[in-house]
Each structure stands twice: as structure tokens, then as C-alpha cells.
Amino acid sequence: MSKNTLCLNGLQMKLWVLILLSSLTVRAQESKEITFRIHTNNIPDTENVYITGNGPELGNWQPDRISLINTSGNLWEKSISLPAGEHVEFKITRGSWDTEEVMSDGTIPGNHKLFITEDTTINLIIQNWKDHFKNKLKGQVTGKVDYYRSINGKGILPRDIIVWLPPGYDTETDQKYSVFYMQDGQNLFDPATSAFSIDWQMDETADSLIRDEMIDQVIIVGLANTKWRSSEYADNDTGHAYMDFIVTKVKPFIDSVYRTLKGPEYTAVGGSSLGALISFMLGWNYPGIFSKVMCISPALKYKYIDYVDDVEKYNGIRKNLKFYFDWGGNSLDSLLAPGTKEMINALEEKGFREGKDILWYEDKEGLHNEASWARRIWRPLKFFYGKKD
């Protein structure tokens, strides 16, 4: 056998290896059919059962988007194609977070989890529903809270607005206050209204910090989310309509009803996950309204989301903004962290300085949930409103 023939066979071998690797990559990206079989009790004929989870195929955590089919009595089914190699998390609801599944004692379970490797049938028995459980949580709010119901905005769904007032508001009538606008407002102050029955404890935390004279007094405005949360907290027409709603309707209303300091230097915005994305967008697009932005466990660059690119492409003057970022080291947070770090780098390239304009913190034990966010919320409050020495 000649030397030239040996060389040709070597090239052929490399080509076959490349073809094999390409084939394996394509195979790994194939979808698998996952059949969900949900066994329920006490469901009226007029009701529906839904699955919701992390990804567009599962409705991006919107509780009423992916309905199951009632195949016989108390059995609900649906087959969904999901990408192989994906980590999937999901829950079962009857169309809202007030009607999600719970354990027999009323405890809200963690997310169901699945790693997609092959066609699979999943059987689940729903023990009870949140709204059926008799021993519901009682409301628990520290301080004074005002509620405004079903406030309308153009191009978005109506939502409640919750306003938490600092301890001195009613007695110090000549004082004006900074305002902190936050997304997912029903999850901030009261476990009875929180989607997962665990709130951020912002009322207790802010109240304690103010009474201990560690931060200045601040009004906190919570804007409740809706079933359109994924669209309203995104860089699309709905998300921009939601931002316009806050800037042109909510803020002027709050400024007219309460004794507020109206300038951007006194106005902050914040949220978690997609709520952090829309909060970043509000600060970035409206630096004349907001000067402080809190992004907890933010979805700034993940899968189809990439707002880092928008910041990198910006060539205007440096915006007068102050950013707080944090994230956990587990579950979804570990997947969101790389995009958050890229955003911090992008901001530093635009002239923002760590320790002055940017503060970040990594909670290595943290998860993507309200309990973890409650443990960390004191950090941005002190960063934004800490008493000057």
C-alpha cells in the first residue's frame, strides 16, 4: 500500500469522525415526546387543568397557557415535544397561581423536574389545590399598605398596585419620600397573596432598617403581575406598553397621591428574573425617570433573551444610573449567572464603576425563589438608601 493511499485513508478517517460527531450533535438536539398524565380529584366539569414550566413549550410559567385534555373522569393528559438534553421544571394549575397544586397538608411542593433523554410518560397524582385547602394563610403585613385594584393600561392587562408606606409617613407630614417601584408586587409583602405563599418580606426588612436608622425612609410600590407576565416583562411591544404604563400613568398617579420626591435621583425600579429584565429596561430606557436599578436573579441573557447586546451597541453618553445585581449558585440562577456577569462587564466598558455605580453579590447557596430573595433584599435597600456617615 502506497504512502499516498495511507494519507487518503487518514483524511477519510477524519471526515468520518466529523460526520459521526455532527450526527451525534443533531441527534442530541432532537425532540422527545413527553406524555403528562395527571390524576386529579374534585375537579368540576367546567374547569380545566394546565401545565406550566420553564420554556416556551410549557408556557414560560404562565399558569393558563398549556391546557391538558380530560381523557376519562379524573385523568388529564397531553403529549409535548421537548428538546433532548434539556432540564425541565413544571407545575400543575387550574389556570392561575391561586389554584396551583399543593400537598395534602396545603404545602406548596417544589417544581417537578425532568431531564429529557428519551420519550417518557409521567404520571402525577394531585393531592389538593391551593384554593381548596381549608387552612389558608392569613394576611400578614408589617406597616401600612394601600391597595389600588385593577388599574388599566393600554396594550396590557389590568393589575393591582400595592403601596407600602414607611413608618413615619402619617406622623411626619412635612416630609417627602423616595419611591422604589417593583415588579411582581403581590409577592413582596404578604404570603397570603404571594404566588408561592412565601413573600419577599420587604415590609419587615424595610421597616426594621428604617427603625434602626440604617436606611432613609422610602415608599415601595408593588405592581402585581398578570397572566401575560412573560410578554409584559420582555423586550417586545407588550413590554414597551408596560413600561409606558409605569412611566406615564403609575408614576404620575403615585406622585399626585403621596408626598414623593419626584426626580430620578429619588426613584428606583427593581425585580427578579424576568421582572429584573424589565426593570433594567426601564432604567436603561428612562434614565430621566429612574436612577437606581435592582436586578435580582436577572434573566438578562439566557436562551432567546439577550439585552446585553443592546447595552454593548449603545454609543451615547454615559447614563446616570446605579445598578445592583445578585444571583444564587443553584437551580435556574446558575444558568442565569453567566449572562448577568456579561452585563456587568458590558456596563463597565461603558464607564460604570464597580463599588460606586455597580454593586453585585453572589449567594452561593441561593435558589431562584422568594425565600432566597427575601434573605438578600436588605442589600439593595442599603445600597440605594443607606444612611450617609
Q: Are residues 345 and 222 in the same domain?
A: yes
Residue-number span of the structural domain to which 280 is assigned: 144-385
CATH number of the domain to which 190 belongs = 3.40.50.1820
CATH number of the domain to which 69 belongs = 2.60.40.10
Residue/partner pairs of 332-338 with CB below 8 Å, 24 or more apart: 332/54, 332/89, 332/273, 332/297, 332/368, 333/297, 333/366, 333/367, 333/368, 333/372, 335/302, 336/273, 336/297, 336/298, 336/299, 336/300, 336/302, 336/368, 337/362, 338/301
Ordered per-residue pLDDT tens for the chain, 389 residues: 444 444 445 556 666 556 565 554 444 458 999 999 999 877 777 789 999 998 889 988 889 989 999 988 789 999 999 999 888 889 999 998 888 888 776 777 878 988 999 999 999 989 888 887 654 555 678 999 999 999 999 999 999 999 999 998 999 999 999 999 999 999 999 988 887 778 999 999 999 999 999 999 999 999 999 989 999 999 999 999 999 999 999 999 999 999 999 999 999 999 999 999 999 999 999 999 999 999 999 999 999 999 999 999 999 999 999 999 999 999 899 999 999 999 999 999 999 999 999 999 999 999 999 999 999 999 999 999 998 76
Is 247 within the bounds of a domain?
Answer: yes
Is 195 within the bounds of a domain?
Answer: yes
Is 21 within the bounds of a domain?
Answer: no
Return the C-alpha cell found at 280. 433594567
Q: Domain boundary residue among 78, 101, 129?
A: 129
Is 238 within the bounds of a domain?
Answer: yes
Q: Domain boundary residue among 129, 155, 185?
A: 129
Is 380 within the bounds of a domain?
Answer: yes
Q: Please count the structural domains in the chain.
A: 2
Q: Domain boundary residue among 129, 158, 182?
A: 129
Q: Are residues 113 and 173 in the same domain?
A: no
Q: Please, is 132 exposed, middle or buried when counting C-beta atoms within 10 Å of its C-beta (0-12, 13-18, 19+)? A: middle
pTM: 0.74
